[in-house]
Structures are given as C-alpha cells and as structure tokens.
C-alpha cells in the first residue's frame, strides 16, 4: 500500500513552489483535494492518482510529465532564449518550475511536434541517435521539387562537417514545392542543410511525426500542448 505524503510535499513536487509556500497555499484555503478544501497544513494523502485543485484549477498528480507541444514559429527551444520567446513560456508555471525541458530542438522558424518532459531517461532515449526514432518533416522548397532532388536526398548528400553522406530514410513529393522527409538523425539544421546541399532551399519546415505519434492525431493547434498517455508514449518507441 502506498504511503501517505504531506500535501505540501506533493504540491512542491508538482511545481507549485517551495514547501513553505505550498504550506501557505493550504493554510489560505487555496487547495482542494477530491473536491474538498484542505486547510490543515499537516494533512497527508497518497500521491498516486491524487486529484487536486490550486486556485480553482484542476490537477492530477504525476510523478513525471510527458508533453507534446505544437510549436509555433518564432519560439526558441532553449531554456535561455536569446532572440525570441522560449517554448516553455507556452506552458503553465508549475510545469516550468518542475524543470520540464524540450526533447531536442526545433529551429525558431521551424514548427510542429515537440516533446517535453522532466524525465531524464526519456529525454535521453528520444534524443539519442542510437535509438533510431524516425522523425517526419514536411518541407516547403523555394525551387520546384524534381525527381533528381528526391533521388539526391535518398542517395545521400555531403555536409561539410560530416565524414559520410547523410541520406533521408524516405523522401516523397507532396506537391510541386513540398516534400515529406523522414530522418533518424537530429543534426543541426539537418533538413535545411540537406536541401541546400542537394541544390534547393528550405522556405518552411514542420515536424509532423515522431515515431508513430503524429501531430494530426493529437489535434493540437499552434501553441497548444497536451499530456501524453501511456499509449501515445508507446508510439514513440522505435519498431
């Protein structure tokens, strides 16, 4: 049987501030558990599955969080952005305070599916090229898509800082100026550099899928986020 934990510690673990601050929230009557206001700062509960509200907003206790975000353009994936707002500003403050981090990076002008978590092992698994998690991009090209361009990307292009040619796992024309490109690596500006090396130019880029998880299935508008279920996380594992 799970052991009861002081409510102030539960709130602290969920990103609501220091233990002292969480104790003050409880004493002020700003916290409810299972629909009942709790003002006893000594109250304890089993954390797993606990439903609670803070300032009237509903929360569910999560030991670790796994998120998907539809990243808009002109947001940086850095925790210390320099020229544009950071993607973490799109999340509620408690998620930011519990040290949620982007899994890898998308360029500030690249849109699409971005994962975030406070689980270091999950971040490592999703980021490491050793785990071969494919990622699907839709690239808009400045010049028309040609069979020669597709063939070049599938055969492999030489990037100046890579010892061997880098090839797309799959490359399919979507229309005269759009390609679907599937990669396993996550190298710096990879799609843009591959298109440039193949004689074209990337005008816009969107990541639409990671593993078997698609942005379309999540139904997120630009700037929206959601928690990932266990079934959705399972889609992120390589085959």
- Please report, in angstroms and rounded to a whole number, the separation of the first and last CA atoms in the chain: 36
CB-based contacts of 81: which residues, under 8 Å, 6+ apart? Answer: 75
Strand ordering across the sheet containing 57-60: 36-37, 31-33, 51-54, 57-60
107 in catalytic set = yes
> Residue 196: CA atoms inside 13 Å, Cβ hemisphere, count?
10
Q: Which residue of the set 30, 107, 109, 119 is catalytic?
A: 107
Residue 159 token pair? 């990037």
Residue at token pair 């700003």: 30
Q: What positions carry a catalytic annotation?
A: 107
């Amino acid at each position: 049987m799970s052991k009861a934990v002081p409510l102030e510690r539960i709130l602290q673990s969920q990103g609501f501030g220091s233990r002292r601050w969480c104790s003050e929230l409880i004493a002020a009557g700003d916290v409810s558990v299972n629909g009942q206001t709790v003002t006893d700062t000594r109250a304890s509960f089993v954390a797993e599955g606990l439903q609670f509200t803070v300032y009237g907003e509903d929360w569910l206790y999560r030991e670790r969080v796994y998120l998907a975000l539809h990243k808009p353009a002109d947001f940086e994936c850095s925790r210390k952005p320099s020229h544009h707002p950071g993607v973490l500003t799109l999340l509620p403050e408690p998620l930011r305070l519990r040290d949620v981090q982007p899994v890898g990076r998308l360029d500030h002008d690249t849109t699409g599916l971005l994962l975030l978590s406070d689980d270091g092992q999950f971040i490592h698994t999703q980021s490491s090229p050793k785990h071969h998690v494919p990622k699907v991009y839709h690239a808009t090209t400045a010049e028309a898509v040609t069979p020669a361009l597709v063939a070049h990307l599938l055969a492999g292009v030489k990037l100046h800082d890579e010892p061997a040619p880098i090839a797309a796992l799959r490359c399919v024309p979507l229309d005269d100026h759009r390609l679907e490109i599937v990669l396993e690596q996550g190298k710096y500006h990879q799609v843009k550099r591959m298109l440039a090396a193949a004689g074209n130019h990337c005008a816009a880029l969107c990541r639409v899928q990671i593993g078997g998880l698609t942005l379309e299935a999540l139904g997120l508008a630009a700037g929206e986020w959601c928690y990932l279920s266990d079934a959705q996380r399972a889609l992120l594992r390589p085959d």
